Copies of this chain bind each other. A is one copy, B any other.
Amino acid sequence: MKATYDSDGDRVTVTEDARQQLYDASGYGEPLDGDAVALMPVEAAYLLRKGKLEDVDGDGYSGFLRHAVEDEAVLRVYADLRDRGYYLSVSDDEELYLYARGDHPANSSPETRVEAVDEDAAVEIGKLPSLLAVADDDGDVTYFSVEEEKPDGGYTPLDADVSVVAEEHGRGVGVSDSDALREARYGSTVGDDGEDAGDETLLLSPVEAAYLAKSGVLDPPDTDVDVDARRLAVYTDLRDRGVCPRTGFKFGADFRVYETPDDEHAALLVSAVEQDVRPSVVEVSRAVRLAHGVRKRMVFALVGDEKVEYVAVERERP
């Protein structure tokens, strides 16, 4: 096959058996008139690297890379997914689109866009496609699935007549002990070690106190606790969805979340972030790896003006 830069220098045109060998058999590029195929630079670079193209107008792999490939992360992710047997298409602005395993570009649509970045990138969580691929400095590619999460659980709301006497206690609020609150997993008993403590107090964390104050459960109804507005928004939304958020401190997250009162282990770790948050992929990697290590699902709660959206990110092995 003979490969040349096209007249714009944007693509590579391959002739001589190209259609059959590259497109029909292997899903590379776009077929042109006759037997020719137009390749995106990323595709041509991969074929040069694999020795399936000898050169492009005399440029070998290294020379071609310098001339034609803008973002090497895209090439590395493309190569890694191709090596794993997937078909991909590449847009004019070097965005990757992945086909389901076995699907050929000639008769199917891509399953997802792939966000392909280097390890020093930051990404906007709320705008990621369903696959994030990070090319790291070891030469490896790590994949993360990204999907909308809809927390949903079996905790029933407190009865409307629940009311507890509240008084300031440290950062939070101490309330008269209440079966209703205990059953819904509010509060904790500090130092409740069986000795005579002289009182029966359930301690509410600041975010619990603020939520229960809003809900009209506390008497007196106003609390003077200092709560981060984003955390309170997420706590409120999670409680409204019938799940139970408790502190995620030990796991380095805002909340761990129990889905039903029978759950011994929390299913989710939730971090409350701004809607347009752009963490580094190193931070994403850390949060996801930790969650995986404790068999929970890492969920970013994106807090906007009107609502909270949840995005679950997990390690993926395509």
Contacts and interface: CB of A to CB of B under 8 A. Distances in A.
A60 interface: yes
Contact of A191 (B49, B287, B290, B293): B49
Interface stretch (A92-100, A146-154, A247-255): A247-255
A179 interface: no
A197 B247 contact: no
Contacts of A207: 137
B62 A199 contact: yes
A93 B281 CA distance: 41
A119 B75 CA distance: 43
Interface of A is mostly: mixed
A102 interface: no
Identical chains bound together, number: 2
A316 interface: no
Contacts of A138: 188, 246-247, 249
A277 to B, nearest CB: 15
Interface residues on chain A, size class: 35 or more
Interface in A195-250: 195-199, 201, 203, 205-208, 228, 246-250
Interface stretch (A15-23, A30-38, A124-132, A163-171): A163-171
A197 B49 contact: yes
A195 to B, nearest CB: 6
A83 B191 CA distance: 9
A42 B263 CA distance: 37
Given A50-B195, A119-B249, A201 B139 contact: no
Contact of A250 (B142, B205, B208, B293): B142
A196 B199 CA distance: 77
A77 B142 CA distance: 41
Q: Lowest 10 CB-CB distances: which A-B pairs, in order?
A: A252-B286, A72-B170, A137-B205, A139-B188, A137-B247, A136-B249, A139-B190, A293-B293, A51-B196, A119-B249
18 contacts: A49-B191, A51-B196, A60-B199, A61-B198, A62-B169, A62-B199, A76-B190, A118-B171, A119-B249, A136-B247, A136-B250, A137-B246, A137-B247, A142-B249, A248-B282, A251-B285, A251-B289, A252-B283
